[in-house]
Amino acid sequence: MALQELDELREEALRGLASAADAAAAEQWRLAFLGRSGKLTMELRALRDLPLEERRSVGAAANALKRELEGALEERQAVLQAVLRRGEAGVAAEAVDVTLPARALPRGHLHPMTLMRRSVERIFGAMGFAVVEGPEVEWEHYNFERLRIPKDHPARDMWDTLWIDYEREGERPLLLRTHTSPMQIRFMETHAPPIRVIVPGTCYRYEATDATHEWMLTQVEGLVIDEGITFGHLKGTLESFVHRLFGPNVETRFRCDYFPFVEPGAELAIRWRDGRWLEMLGAGMVHPEIIEAAGFDPDRYTGFAFGMGIERFAMLRYGIEDIRDFYQNDLRFLEQF
């Protein structure tokens, strides 16, 4: 037996002794290592088979290990006995009537925005959409430039951007994404048509807050790219979504709107209970330049995209008048859901 094997046996023994939780476990450990058939006892018996010089050095080390383990066992037994005495004293001093019913623990639940997001994902999932996610810290290249919003373009005023103080030569500027649309580009870089995905996630905008605006919002982006996709597919998809979410009797309205990355663009509004038309989301046909920049033939492939802030859907669904209530962590508000 080599000295290295003794070192390994020592580590194994001390590790096992440290895990002994009571007197019975400590006794099992003693039998396993120091008993008549214990590991160290058997190694000591095998010394007679070693050459004389090696027997002297290994024998001295083995006997020293035996004394060390015996001492460690005594210390462990003393600790276990002390713990046992303290436990018995504590039980006697702190005895309780275990037949009393336990205190009820408060039951948690999902945040209303999580509930709404899951509803949206479930509806679009039933229509064949996959759910993908993208980074919240985004390159300017994806957030603006690849979406046909170059520097100094007036359309950038539509997004009050939170820029990140990040300077490195050769790197593009970083920002907190203002919408989930950058994931359209990222997904088309790695996937070929047919494409049918939604992209839920948090977006950030440097704007004043009021009852209908927050600096942070949860958006769901949608993208479909395939052969023969028309505006009729877009209209039918969004109408089906609204009817599944709010019921079959809700009226919808499409009107022209401008977004740099779609052509034509539209907004979807619904007629709510008080008869008002409420704008709910923006959408449109994916611009041919974006399809071509992704490496697809715009004469062969078309598609549509949409983006919605689901806080507004939750406000309508649950009758909430102030969007700021979602993120103030007021339990009086959150416990209603």
**Does an H or E element contain 262, and which?**
strand 262-271
317 token code pair: 């669904």
Catalytic pick among 179, 196, 287, 312: 179
199 a catalytic residue: no
277 a catalytic residue: no
DSSP assignment of 198-226 equals: EEEEEEE-----BTTB-SEEEEEEEEEEE
Catalytic pick among 62, 117, 120, 159: 159
Longest dimension (CA), the chain: 103
Non-local (6+) Cβ contacts of 234 within 8 A are 224, 266, 283, 284, 285, 304, 306
159 a catalytic residue: yes
126 token code pair: 């039933």
Catalytic pick among 117, 120, 196, 219: 219
176 token code pair: 């907190």
22 token code pair: 């009571």
Q: Name the residue type at position 292.
A: E
Catalytic pick among 13, 62, 283, 305: 305
Nearest residue to 273 (alpha-carbon basis) of 244, 232, 235, 315: 315
Q: What is the rounded CA–CA span in Å between residue 109 and residue 336?
A: 10
Specify burial of residue 27 (Cβ count, 10 A radius: 0-12, 13-18, 19+). middle
163 a catalytic residue: no
Q: What is the rounded CA–CA span in Å between residue 302 and residue 165?
A: 38
Catalytic pick among 13, 199, 262, 314: 262
205 a catalytic residue: yes
- Alpha carbon 36 to chain centroid, angstroms: 55
Phi, psi for residue 221 in degrees, rounded to 5:
-95, 145
113 token code pair: 């925005």
Residue with tokens 């339990």: 331
Q: What is the rounded CA–CA span in Å between residue 34 and residue 41?
A: 6
Catalytic pick among 205, 266, 283, 314: 205
137 a catalytic residue: no
Active site residues: 159, 179, 205, 219, 262, 305
